[in-house]
Amino acid sequence: MKWTSIFAIVVLALGVLCWGQRLLEIPEYDGRDRVHELTNKNYKTVMKKYDIMVIYYHKAIGENLMARKQLEVEELALELAAQVLDDLHDKDIGFGLVDVKKDVAVAKKLGLEEVDSIYIFIDDEIIEYDGELAAETLVEFLYDVIKDPVEIINNERELKGFFNLVEDIKLVGYFKNEDSLSFIEYDDAAEEFHPFVKFFATFNPQIATNLKLDLNEVNFYEPFMDEPVIIPGKPYTEAELIDYIEEHDRPTLRKLEPHSMYETWEDDINGQHIVAFAEESDPDGFEFLEILKEVAGVNTENPDLSILWIDPDDFPLLVPYWEKTFGIDLSSPQIGVVDVKDADSIWMEMDDEENMPTANELDIWIEEVLVGKIDPNDNEDHDDFDDIDSEDSDEEKEKKDNEEEDDADKNDDEINYNDD
Amino acid sequence: MKWTSIFAIVVLALGVLCWGQRLLEIPEYDGRDRVHELTNKNYKTVMKKYDIMVIYYHKAIGENLMARKQLEVEELALELAAQVLDDLHDKDIGFGLVDVKKDVAVAKKLGLEEVDSIYIFIDDEIIEYDGELAAETLVEFLYDVIKDPVEIINNERELKGFFNLVEDIKLVGYFKNEDSLSFIEYDDAAEEFHPFVKFFATFNPQIATNLKLDLNEVNFYEPFMDEPVIIPGKPYTEAELIDYIEEHDRPTLRKLEPHSMYETWEDDINGQHIVAFAEESDPDGFEFLEILKEVAGVNTENPDLSILWIDPDDFPLLVPYWEKTFGIDLSSPQIGVVDVKDADSIWMEMDDEENMPTANELDIWIEEVLVGKIDPNDNEDHDDFDDIDSEDSDEEKEKKDNEEEDDADKNDDEINYNDD
């Protein structure tokens, strides 16, 4: 594909900069064509040329102009990623496109399944990337991909670094050494989840003592939880570890991250997400996040609860749009329930940003969400319950009757929520 | 300015997405023209229309094609920022361009000085932005701009959030209430540095006790330092606070951040930067950063030392380029000295990523940099000192003699450094 746009020339313009500036100049696309269009004929040859192959399995083009334009923007992101990684010294990373309609055979042979996803082929593994299609986010993700799947903790300071990582699921095991059979099983399991789940190990008995780990034992940490769970039944086979992680891969509290945002969003519960907005670098946001973590800690055994934390700082371009769509002000923390189909939502009332809800209040609110008493689809007419009582449909009547029963049963504190 | 490129049509393509996906779709530029070209005739009228005006003071266009193309890319970023902020509910934010050659009169009247900078006009303040010209980074910065310059700490959890912020210079003061004269002086000083320096205050005696603050007293925290310095001479006038901060605005350890990267880079010391690369989310990087903080703590009084910490995760598109230019591997931590003019550099040898230097070794290395014994401009021929001894120029001879004197005087430990 040829690029005749303004991008072709920009890189030349950088030639006029002095060195000092150039060291910090974020690269623009230079217009050279690096992304391959994979076909049944060329895909094997192309893929052999690279250590790692990044393949965008995209919607069919040719159907309409808009889809083609959209693909061109996405392809620009891939071209920029390919250009930047051209300079990487120790790995050859190739980029390719597979069209869902034109290249059915290639997709089948490579095992591509979800359209609009990126598949990364490295050694014998295939990693699915379902995050933001921007060069920055994808390239940063690829740096994680080429790291070892298990990181070794050698000393106290590295252990502190381990404890400092709280946003992903992480595991840590204590093994005799790299040749130990248990470690090899662990390492194989790590490859299955790399780089989404973080695997650590130590061979140092002192570090193991600090982690309260026996030999060949593995601790599993949910995101944002200080206390790990010891995976039962050591020593574990690769399959046992994989099973355990797959059973526990939806955390009680998880963060929306650009490199996996679409995948996380698709993993809704009954078509809804409990979404919490909190800016960690703001004292109010930090405070609310602490409360959230406390509530998550209490509910860690509840499989029906997965709160999605979004830090607005990570998605600055979406903030005004979210504010408008949800009718909320993101300059202070918010928690609500969002219907993923129609974007209906309902938000907990926090009348004063200096008065956050207590963990207990938040816990009660969440419980009401889980039993369906707080439902984004009730949002519009909730305020008018009394007025429109006589016009209720049978379905609504039944629902409200159930709600009243719930009330009587549980004697909950009253919760206010926002209705606009 | 008209955009006939592919961007004009992309936003339409998003129309085919369902709601759930659309909630997370990072906006693309819709092709509408929102950025004003300011002239002597229109600038007053345009600026009156907005609460906040963001003006890019750019190099002259028309001189050459490349400069114009470069400006177009930058303008696209501004257009996208303007489009996104169009949706902001409580502030009108306008964007404008001022050409250094064509619009000399406007620049003079508005007080624009540094070409290639963005000036933000808000109330009576002008804030200079000298960071990455990308919509995301600029928009995130503008959210900080519209926040109150002083954040109030009301409780223990917010205090924890305050302690959690370590990357910027921050101040915290204890005042009677918002009407106290000392607080008003403090608030006025905050406006001068907002949003680069973070100002906090509390009116709560218990929080003040935890901060060891007397009434009307202000603590000054360098980045990454746990222990604050009490600003002497309370109660302070606005001018006294401003003077103190300006005297202490180059920290011993500071982080390169996208929103201020060019400004930070320009603030070199004798044409050089000590640059440390460390990925905080990696145990090795975290460990090295802990060592760096320890060394910075010891040297906090040294005005000649300012270590620039770069987290490669913040600049993924620059990593391969830095690796190539500096001849280093950024998958593990690095520290070196970079000459900002010619990008010559010299890097401390860390032969094994499992064996970080101790704080003491690092401290000695830094001292050798400060006295000029480690100099990026010596890099090329250092390895060959013995061989080319007889061919040394007088200047080099003199330098080496001085070095030997230094050695004898200070009896330093021997330091290895990287020579390639």
Q: Which of residues 203-232 of B touch A (CB under 8 A)?
A: none
**Would the pLDDT of A18 be above 80?**
no
Of B9, B286, B317, the CB nearest to A84: B317
A385: contact with B, CB 8 A cutoff: no
Length of chain B: 420
CB distance B343–A27 less than 8 Å?
A: no
Highest mean pLDDT among A209-218, B20-29, B301-310, B366-375 belongs to A209-218
Residue of B nearest to A158 (CA): B283
The predicted pLDDT at position A61 comes to: 80
Tens-place pLDDT, residues A229-249: 999 999 999 999 999 999 999
> What is the arithmetic mean of pLDDT over B222-227?
95
pLDDT tens per residue, range A287-343:
999 999 999 999 999 988 999 999 999 999 999 999 999 999 999 999 999 999 999
- Say what the pLDDT of residue B88 is: 87
Beta-carbon separation of B26 and A73 below 8 A: no
Across the interface, of A86, A155, A318, the residue whose CB is closest to B26 is: A318
Nearest chain B Cα to A12, which residue? B66
Question: Packing angle between helix B283-298 and helix B359-370, nearest 10 degrees?
Answer: 60
Degrees, nearest 5: CA angle A119-A319-B28: 55
The answer to whether B361 contacts chain A (CB < 8 Å) is no
**Average pLDDT over all residues of chain B:** 87
Give the distance from residue A406's alpha carbon to the nearest chain B alpha carbon, in angstroms.
Answer: 30
Q: Where are the beta strands (DSSP E) in A145-237?
A: 150-152, 170-174, 198-202, 218-221, 229-230
Query: Which residue type, as a one-letter code, is found at position A44?
Result: K
Q: What is the mean pLDDT of chain A?
A: 87
Strand residues in A263-323 grouped as ranges (E): 272-277, 307-310
Which residues in A lie closer than 8 A to residue B261 (C-beta atoms)? 24
pLDDT of residue A22: 81
pLDDT at A69: 84
**Segment among A159-173, A340-354, B267-281 with least mean pLDDT:** A340-354
Report pLDDT for B380. Answer: 57
**pLDDT tens for residues B233-279?**
999 999 999 999 999 999 999 999 999 999 999 999 999 999 999 99
Quote the pLDDT of residue A89: 80
pLDDT at B81 over 90: yes
pLDDT at A338: 96
Residues of A in contact with B89 (CB under 8 A): 320, 323-324, 329
Q: Please, is B200 exposed, middle or buried when counting C-beta atoms within 10 Å of its C-beta (0-12, 13-18, 19+)?
A: buried
Q: Determine the residue of chain A that is closest to B353 in CA distance.
A: A154
Query: Does A188 have pLDDT greater than 60?
Result: yes
pLDDT at B385 over 50: no
Of A13, A69, A80, the CB nearest to B9: A69
Interface of B with A in 3-32 (CB under 8 A): 5-7, 9-10, 12-16, 18-24, 26-28
Nearest to B20 among A132, A322, A340 (CB): A340
Q: Tell me: the pLDDT tens digits for B87-107?
A: 887 899 999 999 999 999 999
Residue B151 at interface with chain A, using a CB cutoff of 8 Å: yes
- Residues A344 and A365: their CA atoms lie apart, in Å, by 18
User: For residue B5, is pLDDT > 90?
Assistant: no
| B412 pLDDT more than 50 | no
**The pLDDT of residue A253 is above 90:** yes
Taking an 8 Å cut-off on Cβ atoms, the answer to whether B282 and A161 are in contact is yes
Contact present, B133 and B77 (Cβ < 8 Å): yes
Given a cut of 70, whether residue A133 has pLDDT beyond it is yes
CA distance B395 to chain A (A): 26
> For A24-40, what is each residue's pLDDT tens digit?
999 989 999 999 999 99
- pLDDT, greater one: B90 or B329: B329
Mean pLDDT of A88-92: 88
CA distance B257 to chain A (A): 11
Q: Is the peptide bond before B357 cis (omega within 30 degrees of 0)?
A: no
Give me the percent of chain B exceeding a pLDDT of 70. 84
Query: For B287-315, how does the pLDDT look when each residue is reduced to its tens digit (9 = 90+)?
Result: 999 999 999 999 999 988 999 999 999 99
Distance of CA B19 to the CA centre of its chain: 37
Q: How many CB atoms lie within 10 A of CB A326?
A: 23
Least confident of A5-14, A83-92, B156-165: A5-14
Q: Decide if pLDDT at B416 tops 60.
A: no
Phi, psi of B99 (to 5 degrees): -90, 130
Q: Helix or strand or coil: residue A54?
A: strand
Q: Which of A320-334, B133-147, B331-345, B390-404 has the lowest mean pLDDT?
A: B390-404
Lowest mean pLDDT among A34-38, A64-68, B57-61, B172-176: A64-68
Q: Contact, A300 vs A226, CB < 8 A?
A: no
> Is the Cβ pair A135, B317 closer than 8 Å?
yes
pLDDT score of A87 more than 90: no
Q: Is residue B7 scored above 80 in pLDDT?
A: no
> What pLDDT, on a 0 to 100 scale, did the predictor assign at position A380?
57
Residue B14 with chain A: CB contacts under 8 Å: 70
The answer to whether the Cβ–Cβ distance between B262 and A313 falls below 8 Å is: no
Is 50 exceeded by the pLDDT of residue B193?
yes
Say yes or no to pLDDT of B352 above 70.
no
On the question of pLDDT at B36 being above 90, the answer is yes
B284·A158 Cβ contact <8 A: yes
Closest-CA residue of A relative to B64 is A13
Q: What is the ipTM of this complex?
A: 0.86
Instruction: Please write the tens of the pLDDT for every residue from A267-279.
Output: 999 999 999 999 9
Task: For chain B, say whether A282 makes contact (Cβ under 8 Å).
Answer: yes
Interface of B with A in 261-280 (CB under 8 A): 261-262, 265, 280
Q: Please answer yes or no on whether A9 and B65 come within 8 Å at the CB atom.
A: yes
d(CA A117, CA A129): 6
CA distance B416 to B372: 15
Report percent pLDDT > 90 for chain B. 75
Write down the pLDDT at residue A85.
97
Judging contacts by C-beta atoms under 8 Å, the chain A residues touching residue B86 are 320
**B24, B73, B287 member nearest A262 (Cβ):** B24
Percent of chain A with pLDDT over 70: 84
Distance CA A360, CA B248 (A): 44
Does B287 sit within 8 Å of A157, measured CB to CB? yes
User: Could you tell me if B237 lies within 8 Å of chain A, comparing CB atoms?
Assistant: no
